[in-house]
Amino acid sequence: MIFKSRFYVRLCLLALIAVSITTGCSAQGNIKFEKRDLTIEGAGGQVAMTIEIARSDEERSRGLMFRKELKDGEGMLFIFERDQVLSFWMKDTLIPLSIAFVSADGRIIEIRDMEPRNLNAVRSSRSARYALEAPQGWFARAGLAPGDKLKL
């Protein structure tokens, strides 16, 4: 009798763990990002972009993971509380991206390309407050470069 009750207790614990893992994964997939229009002032004029905003640790951790497409003119703005050297990797990100590291005043510091599922960190060369991800090559196609300014 004791053997059977221990077995059922273990079975129930395993079931609870499985439910917790499944619920945690599906909850992560259901993050609803705030959407906004963003204007970037470039040398050739203003460029419009539709962005999703990642403010919280949970949102920043999720980012653009598992997305199968991202159209030109769309992206994600990562907002940090303070200036710091920022570091991003592409684990579980399925599409090639470019990332613009942006200063607290909205100026693009640098733009780097990132490859899908790459585990190597892409770091800003100096402190930044924001990071803006877009489809790979979009910044160049839109005529944007370091020194251009986001209207935050």
**Is residue 47 predicted with pLDDT exceeding 50?**
yes
Q: Do residues 1 and 60 share a domain?
A: no
Q: Do residues 19 and 77 share a domain?
A: no
Give me the number of domains the chain comprises: 2
pLDDT confidence band for 4 (50 / 70 / 90): low
Q: Which helix (H) or strand (E) holds 15?
A: helix 2-29
Burial class (CB in 10 A: 0-12, 13-18, 19+), 19: exposed
Q: Are 111 and 146 in contact (CB under 8 A)?
A: yes
Q: Are 90 and 114 in contact (CB under 8 A)?
A: yes
Q: Do residues 121 and 66 share a domain?
A: yes
Range of the domain at 23: 1-30
Distances (CA, A) of 41 to 22, 54, 98, 144: 44, 22, 18, 8
pLDDT confidence band for 152 (50 / 70 / 90): confident
Q: Give 137 or 23, the one with higher predicted confidence.
A: 137
Q: Do residues 129 and 71 share a domain?
A: yes
Q: Do residues 78 and 23 share a domain?
A: no
pLDDT confidence band for 28 (50 / 70 / 90): very low
Q: Do residues 23 and 80 share a domain?
A: no
Kindly give the residue spans of alpha helices, DSSP state H, lying in 37-149. 57-62, 138-141
Give 95-146 pLDDT, tens digit per residue.
999 999 999 999 999 999 999 999 999 999 999 999 999 999 999 999 999 9
Distances (CA, A) of 73 to 25, 135, 142: 29, 8, 8
Q: Do residues 8 and 83 share a domain?
A: no
Region of 77 please: left (phi>0), alpha (psi -120 to 50) or beta. beta
Q: Do residues 41 and 11 share a domain?
A: no
Q: Which range has the worst mean pLDDT, 11-20, 54-63, 139-148?
A: 11-20
Q: What's residue 6's pLDDT?
A: 56
pLDDT confidence band for 7 (50 / 70 / 90): low
- The predicted model gives 74-84 an average pLDDT of 98
DSSP state of 63: T
Region of 73 please: left (phi>0), alpha (psi -120 to 50) or beta. left
